[in-house]
Each structure stands twice: as structure tokens, then as C-alpha cells.
Chain A
Amino acid sequence: MERFNKRILSLILVLVVLSLSLTSCTKKEAVYPSTPITYVLCFDPGGESDITARFQQPVLTKLLSVPIAISYITGGGGGTGWSQLTTTTPDGYTIFGTNLPHIIVQPLTGNAGYKTEQIDNIYMFESTPCILVVGQNSPIRTFDDFLKYAKAHPGMSVGGSGEPSSNSLALARLAQLSNLKLTYVSFTGSGTAITALLGGHVDALMTYTSTFIQYKDKWLPLAVATEGRLGILPDVPTFKELGYDLVEKAYRGVAVPPGTPENIRKVLEQAFEKVNQDPEVIKEMENLGFIMENYNEAQSKALVDQLTPYYTQLLETTKKP
């Protein structure tokens, strides 16, 4: 009996090893794509990147006629995944979700394991602008109240998600423009920043429009960091109209490893462009507070080039002692 079990087990082991080695050598075909594509997300399932990818997945599968498998390489605020992106085989069968300003800011603040130029963004498809909110029961009712409160309470706490992140940079910029002492309290993990405001543990929250939409009955928006007012939030003033030059959003897109052939990049760029035109995807995404963006490869590169000096300077001038 013992011998019999041993044989079965070794057989299973051999089969597993064989199947593993087979999968790694079948992706050498002329027509792209001919085998499943792995869509790697660098943040935990359930977050904004995941929700977006899940909406895209069925449409992409139809457009490219191959299965799209979503997998996760998480940690280091996305950095672990992006440093692996730079060493992945550039055959178009592994694509990575990317985020701005993360891929600009992380290499600026330390050894991130990748350089901004190594991330070849094929398409940036959505963004979530920063929005400053307070609880419904807060004494603060308007952005003007917020300024007064901050003056009376130097170091008032404003929560946000991650650091350095779009939220933390938006608050740093606001503190700089208004000459106020604001304390950014970074929260990690899903939900903790939300409970911090719901439970009244922080005075205000710098968050994303997609988060605010979920709590619009409980929170009061003060100002949104966009160029103009948003269609889904027509009553919320922009920082710009209030006299503060603060535009800050987290962009999400997709990138391929450096050295990916031109024809593959074009196929992917067009596929993601078409996904963004799908009325069902647009409707679902906008309902959840996402802003659709349409930056193709060249425009994405221009966007990164345009934002890099801004963030470099912002990080330089708001550096903590």
C-alpha cells in the first residue's frame, strides 16, 4: 500500500513539473495574440485597479479573441510589480496595470527597482481625481470654513490613502499654496481611511472621487482637484475656481515591458482604445465615480513628461525636515 501511494505521488509530481515546463515554451507564434494574455495588477484585488480590469476583461477577451487572465503582484505601493515589469519577456503576453503619479514619484523618492522611462504605457484609460471631504456632522461646511478651521487649529489632521500618493501630494500642494499647517495621516489597507473619517478620527479626508461616490450621503465634499467641474458632481467647486492652483488625480493605465515590438504595442493600444468606447464599460465606470481618460501611447508619454517636473519640484519643496 505504501509503495502504491509513493508511485502515485511521484507520478503526480512528474506531471505537475511537466505541465509547468510546457506552459513556458509555447508562446512563440507569429500572429499576435494567439495564446492567453496575463494582465498583471500591482494592487490587491477589490481596489480601483481591480475593478477597472474586471470591467475591461470581457470586452478585451472578445476583441483579442484570446482569454485575458488577471493576476496580482502586489506590495510596495505597486513598486514590486513594476520592478518585475522591467525584467519580463517583452512578447506582449504579460501586460501590467500602471498608475500615475506612482511610477513618477516612486523612483524619485528611493530605489524603486525600476525607472519611470522603463514603463512603456500603452494606454491610460481612467483617472480618479482627488477630492477634499469632511463628515456630515463636521463644523466645516465649505472650503472657506476649512481654511478658517485650519488657521485656528494648526496641524489639523487630514487622512488619505498611502504616502507618497496622489492623496498625500495633493495635500502637500494645498498646504504649500495656502500656507497652512496641515498634517497628512496616511492610512493603509482597504477601508481604514474610510472608517477614520466615518468614525471622526481625522478632521477631513483627501480621497478619490470613486471613494466619495460610495459615501456621498455621509460625507460633505469641499473641493475637487480637477481643471473644471465634474459632470457627476456638478455642485462641487474646483480648487481652481476657489483660487488654488491644485489639479491632482491618480491615472490608471496599462504598460508593456521595455522592448516590446511595435506591432504588438499597436494591437494592445487599439484594443484598450476600443474598450474605452464600449458604452457598457463607460456607464459602469462612471457610475462608480471613475473619470474616463483616453491617452494613447504617445499621449501617455507626453503626460508623464509633462507631470515629471511638477512632481519633482513638489517633492523637493515639501520635503520633510
Chain B
Amino acid sequence: MTTLSHKPASARPIPNPERSLITRLNMGTGTVVGILFAVITYYLLRHHFGSPWRVNHGMDMTNTHFVNVTILCTMFAWSFGFLVGIGALIGPFRWLIGKDLTAEEQLYLAGDGQGIKRYFKYCTDHKVVGIQYLVGVMVMLGVGGTMAMMIRTNLATPGSHFIAPIIYNSLVGLHGITMIIAMIIVSTGPFGNYIMPIMIGAADMAFPRLNALSWWVLFTAIPVLCSAWFLGGIPTGWTAYAPLSDQAGPGMNAFLATIIIFALSTAVAGMNITTTVVAMRAKGMKWNRVPIFVVGATISVALAIPAFPTFMVAMIQTGLDRTISTGFYDANVGGSGWLYANLFWIMGHPEVYVILIPGVAALMEIAPVFVRKPLFSYGAAIAGFAGIAGLSVLVWAHHMYMSGWMPNLNGPFMITTEFISVPTGLLFLVLVGTLWRGKPWMKMPMLSVYAFIWDFLIGGITGIYLSDVPADNYLHGSMFVTAHFHYTLMGAALTGAIGALAFWFPKMTGRMLNDRGSYISFWLIQIGFNVLFLGMFMAGAAGQPRRVADYAQAFAHANLISTIGAYSVGLGMIVLLWAIIHSWRSGVIAPMNPWGSKTLEWTVPYPVPLVNFDEPPVVTSDPYNYGRSAK
């Protein structure tokens, strides 16, 4: 158990806003300045480079690609302008004149006592950032999910009656990238920011201003991504393969700009989380006493730190190809599409584990609490995460078995890929070992553990066929792949995040998540999910390519099954959203530790005080000493 050492609580200075500039900045001023920057940039560049509406206005430009300069610069100007307008750069500007924010200003930025307004400001409190991420993720999942419903509606029957192929292709791309971004931050954003610093006994993140920066930088990417709709969409799927991306219309720029902005956000967040966990753990929290969610989130963001820059580079090069025709990926001038594919998947495969690991880690945090047993083999859990993270950087070309890039490397990449089953197996061992001989308290977080085991098992077994080169000859690029990765990303990682939300909801909102609503949504989502992707496995095994707007009559049954399942998932998500909103506003008031957990975040009241702990906690044992005859 945790004991608290007794030190007098330091007296807090009273916030003294003084009506200075910093008190007047918020999301509104950010938006105004962002739009202003964007409009000025647009009008400055329009005459030289053309606009998407008046290409090459009055200029003798033989290369229509120059219009992309206008669009990209306008997008980056919006992003930069927003950050200026919300006050993110006040600190750096002060450094230029040899000063920094005053103590009063820093305290003001932490937002204590500013009520709901602080959620719309550049607020450095990690708890505010956590809630901002949570709401942001829910909006993104809602948008991405709506697009998924439109995709499934179009595929319900052969003939593509619902939407035209050009819009369908854009939907596929936007659904993909929206969901990928949402899933990367779905656990580490809300829970990594809100809960994790409290879990390790820290007063805040290591770099509170960077923490706010990571959220608001990400926020500026959302309108950029949405603008793709008005610029002709993203016709390339989320993989944005070249040379299709060179050929694509102006909407493609939205994709590039989004990824570049998002990569900055993840780099900032990743450094911040890693530093916090390394440097700011409570006294006595040795490495073998760190809660497993913290370990998982840290490994996940540490893996993202080297992964996303390659995506950013890939996108910068696509941008250069599209603006000044550098031809990195254009075979006609000596470039290669395989260069893009390599850069993309060097990010792309670690990225799926960046998504998966925090979700699993959250469920490992949940299981011991509800089974009232220690986490089975903490060491195996860490070996599993570390093994997956380590191997994941060596497997990228399994996405390129059929690309013709290096057929001779297929064998080696198959070996590294298949070996990921070993650390993945350890994750299963940890979970079933924790369940073994237990009598789990069946609440929503615990149900998610069971759903995860089933979904991830299916995702894992189908992954074994896909990692096998000969079988991938058949399966690559088919609906089977789509079903497989939805089992891992949605069935495993999103299930983990929903479980985590149910688990930490009382600490984040002060109220319990509505039981009935969460159970109904759970079964609608899980049954619907399995029906949906069972149908998709059928279609893929029968030979339906992925990302098709239309298909042959032979796949009609499988697709109809899929669409029925999809509607059930959609309904379940609406019920879950209702349960979250209802419970947040008027749910049952939660006690300080409703689940009887032994980690530090349950030792603080709601609302959590600004510096989290009145006295710095001291940790004297690992957080999983549940169980009879536990020493």
C-alpha cells in the first residue's frame, strides 16, 4: 500500500491575471488570427501560384502543380496563426527578448479556478489537456464512424447506388486517416495525460506548456483535414501511395498538411510523456513498481518518436513532388514509388503497435482490480510490450511482399513478422493468467477485457496467415486484410480504450458511467463488430479487393452481413455516446475509489487539485498486491 509522508502543504500564490494580453487569448482569438494568417497568405500567393478556384491566375506557369504551393502554405499559415492567436508562442517570443513568463502568468495558464473556460484556452494543466483530448477523440471517432456507416451503406448491395465512386474513394481515405489519428491518441491522449501523471505521483507533466502545445497543434490539424472535402477529397486511401498521390487533386494537400502537423504534435507529446515517466515518478516508485498502463503508454509513445518523423519526411517529399516536381516518387524522372512505400511502412507498422499497446496496457491495469488478483507475471507483460516494440521496427516490408520491391527480402521479413507472435502470446498469457481461478467483478471495464481476448485472438490468428508470404499472395489487398486490421485496431485497441474510459470515468468526471447504457452499448458494439468483420473475412476470402466502391454479385451475401453488423456497431456507439454524456452531466456521484484499486490516482479526490497531491506520495510496494496470502 501507499503511504503518504507528512509535509505541510505549500501555500499557493493567488492568481493575479491583471487583464494582461495573456488573459484575453483563447480558442476564439486563435481561430481569428489563424484565419487572418491563412487569408493573408492565400492572397499573397494566389497571384503567383494560382488558387484552386482560378488555376495559374494570369501567370505563365506551365506546371499546374504550383497551385499546391498556395494551398499548402495557406494551411500551414492557419496552423501557425492559430497557435499565435491562442498564445502558444508567448513563451518562445519572450525568450527572444531574454525573458520568460512570470510566475503569475504561469499559474494563470494552469487555469485553476477558471471553470469551463480553461478547456477553450491554452491551459497547461494535464487534467484539462486530458479532457480536451478525450472530447477531441470522441468527435474524431464520431466523424470517422459516420464515414464508416456511409461506406457500409454503399456496400450493402452491389451496384454502388448510394454514393459515386469518386466520393466513395474520398470517404475511404478520410475514414482511414481520421480513425488512424483518433486511434493513435485514443488512450495516450485522454488517459496518458489525465491519469498517468497522477498514477506515478507527479504534480504535472514534465513540460506543461509542451503538453498544451501538443493538443492545440493537433487541434489545428482537424480543420485542415476537413478542408479536404472542399478541395476534392483524398482519393488515395490513407496510405497515400505515390504516384497516385501525385495525380490526386488539391484535396491531397490537406492530407499532407495534416500529417506534418500531426507528426509535430506526436513528437512533442511523446517527448513529454517519456520524460515525465522517466524523471517524475514518486519517491519509491522503482521501475518494477510502475503501473503497467504507464509502462505501456511510455513504450507506445517512445516507439512513436522515431516512427512518425519518417511519415513526416514521406509527406514532405510528396509535397515537394506535388509543388515543385522534385520527382522523389516519380519513376518517369528517376524516382521510385517504392521509396514512398518504404518510408510509409517504416512508420506504418510500428504505428499499429503505438495504437495497440496502450489499449492492452489499460486492460492489464483493469483486470487485477476486478479479478482481485495480482497482475500475472508483470515481467512477462513488460517483455511482451518491449518485444513487440523492438520487433515492430523490423517488419515493415511485410506490407510490400507483393509490391515487387525486393522479393528476396520476403523471407527475412516473414521471419521477423512471425516472431511477433511470441511477445504477443505473452500479452495473452498475462491476461488469462490474471483471470485464472479468479471471480471477476463483471462491470463494464472487465467486460472489455473479455471482448479484447476474443477480438485480439481472431486478429492475431488471421495475422499469422497474412504474415506468411505465399498466403499473402492471395490475401494481400483484399477485404481480408481490412477485416484483420479492424480486429486488431478496433476490436483490440478501441475496446481497450472504451474499457479504460469506463474504468477512469469516475476519476475524470467525478461520476459513474451509466451501467445500463454501457452494457447495452457493449453488446451492440461487440456482436455487431463480430458480424461486421465476419462478413468482411468472407468477402476477402472469396476474393473481393479492398477499397472498392462496387463488387460482383458473388460477394453480395458477405457484404450484406457486414453492413447489418456495421449498423449494430453504429447504434451501439450512439448508445455509448448517450451514456457518456448523460453520466457526465447527471450520473451517480462517484466515491474516491469506486473499484477498490491500489494505484495512486484513486488516492486523490475529485476534482483533482491543481498539483494533484497535497503531499508528495511515497510508494512502498507494487500496485498489484491483491490476493489471499499476498506478501
Partners in one complex: no
Mark A residues whose CB is within 8 Å of B.
none
Residues of B with Cβ closer than 8 Å to A? none
